[in-house]
Homo-oligomer: A and B are copies of this chain.
Amino acid sequence: MTSPEYAHHFTIQNLPYGIASSPTHPTPQCATRLHNTIIFLADLHDAGLFSSIPALPANVFTNPTLNSFAALPQQTHSQIRHVLKSTLQQTGPPLALALPLPLPSTSMADISTVTMHLPVSIPSFTDFSASLPHNQNAGRIILGHDSLPPAFFHFPIGYAGRASMIAISGTPITRPVGHICIWEGTSAPEQTKKKKKEKNVIFAPCQSLDYELELGVIIGKPLARGTGLNAVDAEEHIFGLVVLNDWSARDIQSLEMIPLGPLNGKSFATTISPWIIPLSALAPFKTTGPEPRVSLPPHLQDPGAFNYDITVMAELEGEGLAGRTVMGRSNAKELFWSIRQMAAHLASTGCDLRTGEVLGTGTVSGEVEGSFGSLLEVTRGGRVGIGCVGRERGYLVDGDVVRLSAWAGEGVGFGECVGVVRAAALPN
C-alpha cells in the first residue's frame, strides 16, 4: 500500500510511470498516477485511447515491468504523454466521469488500495559520484584533509553496483554483517592516522549504517555495444528519473575498497521510488550547472542547461526523534556532472546501455550544514550525534525509517523512497 500524502507531487504536469497491482488488477502492470488516482494503462489501451499511435508492441502495458515501453523511441513516449495529458487534464480527481471513453471504473484505483512494484527489470546498476560538495565533505571526514578523487573534474567517477539487489520503496533493510576494522584505544579523529592492524578485523553487524540521497536515471532506448554517445544526445536514451537510496555500510566499505572499490558495503541493498518521472515532465526545470574546470573531450561537452532543478530531502524517523526530522535538503542542480554526461562517460569505451539499467547520481549534498545527503556528512563520520538525546554515535539504529523525497517544482514531484532498518540477521 502506498501513502497518499504526496498527491501534490503528481499533478497533470507530472504523469509518471510505474508498475501497480490492485484488488481489481492483481497482476502487476503499467500505470500512471494523477494526484491520488492510479490509472492502469492497459485499460486505456484496450479502450482505444492510443489507437492513433502506431507501432506499440503487444502487451506493452500488461507486462509486469516497464522495460518494453521504456525501450520505445522518445517520439512514441511523447505521443502517449500527449494523449494522456489531453485526456486527463479536463478535470481534477475524481476522474471516473471525466474520460471521453467508456472505461470501466476499475481502470482507476485510489493510491491507498494499490501495491507498487519494481518499475523495471534492472540489468545493470552504475553509481556515479557527481556532487562536488559530497566528495569534498567525504574527503575531509575520511582522510582528515582537503582531498578530491584525482579524476573528479575530468569525468563523472563511478562504480558498478549490484543491480539484482535494487528493491522498491518500502522494502525493509536488514543491517548487513561484514568485516570491520576496529581500532583499540584511540579516539575517532586519530583513527585515520593509525595504521590498520590485522588483529583488529572482526566479522560483525555493521556499526555505521548510512543512507545516500541520490537520484536514479532509468535508461530507456538501448544503446548497442560499440556505438558511443555524446552527452548532448544522451537524453534520447533516458526514460526518466527516480529517487534512489544507496544504503551504505561505512565500516564494511572502509576495509574493502582499497583498491577495488566498494562491494559488500553497498551490495546488500539499494532502494528506488516507485514512480519514474519522465524527462519531458522535468523539462521545464532544466537549468545550468557548474562550469567545467578543465577542457572536456567532445563526448562530455554539454553546454547550456544540462542540469535539473530538483530539490532532494532526507528525513529520519525513529528512536529519540520527535516524528519526521529533516536530516538534509539539497538540490540536484548543483551536481557537477549531468545525467547526460554520466551516460556518455559510461558509453565512451564502447560499453552498451540497456533498457531498465540504472545510473545513480551519487549522494546529492550541499556545502553547508543542513544540506548533507548522508549521515557520514551529517555526523562527520559518526563523531557527532544527529542532534537528539541518546544517539551519540550518529549512524542509523534498528527501527529507523529513512524517507527520501524529491520535487522539481509545483506539481512535479517524485513521491518518496522509504526504508525501515531491521536488526542484523546473525550468521548461522
Contact = CB atoms under 8 A, between A and B. Distances in A.
Interface of A: 123-124, 126, 129, 149-151, 153-155, 157-165, 174, 176-179, 181, 196, 198, 201, 203, 225-226, 228, 230, 249, 252, 255-264, 267-269, 294, 297-299, 345-346, 348-352, 354, 357, 425, 427-428
Given A174-B226, A176-B350, A425-B226, A154 B261 contact: no
Contacts of A269: 350
A160 B267 contact: yes
B162 A162 contact: no
A255 B149 CA distance: 9
Copy total for this chain: 2
Nearest to A178: B349
Contacts of A178: 348-349
A351 B165 contact: yes
16 contacts: A123-B163, A149-B260, A150-B181, A157-B263, A164-B352, A164-B357, A176-B350, A178-B349, A179-B297, A228-B425, A228-B428, A249-B349, A257-B260, A257-B261, A264-B348, A269-B350
Contact of A260 (B198, B262, B294, B349): B262
Nearest to A143: B259
Report, nearest first, the 9 A-B pairs whose CB atoms are least far apart.
A261-B261, A268-B349, A203-B297, A176-B349, A160-B160, A159-B260, A260-B261, A267-B351, A264-B349
Given A160-B162, A201-B294, 6 more contacts: A123-B163, A124-B162, A149-B258, A176-B350, A269-B350, A299-B428
A298 B427 contact: yes
Contacts of A298: 427-428
Given A159-B159, A160-B162, A228-B428, A154 B349 contact: no
Nearest to A203: B297
Contact of A174 (B160, B176, B256, B350): B350
A260 B158 contact: yes
B163 A161 contact: no
Contacts of A425: 226, 228, 350
A70 B22 CA distance: 35
A68 to B, nearest CB: 17
A151 B256 CA distance: 6
A165 B352 contact: yes
Nearest to A298: B427
A61 to B, nearest CB: 25
A190 to B, nearest CB: 18
Contacts of A126: 263
A4 to B, nearest CB: 29
A264 B346 contact: yes
A213 to B, nearest CB: 18
Contacts of A165: 225, 351-352
A298 B123 CA distance: 32
Nearest to A267: B351
A260 to B, nearest CB: 4
Contacts of A129: 260
Contacts of A350: 174, 176, 268-269, 425
A260 B161 CA distance: 11
A204 to B, nearest CB: 9
B349 A177 contact: yes
B177 A348 contact: yes
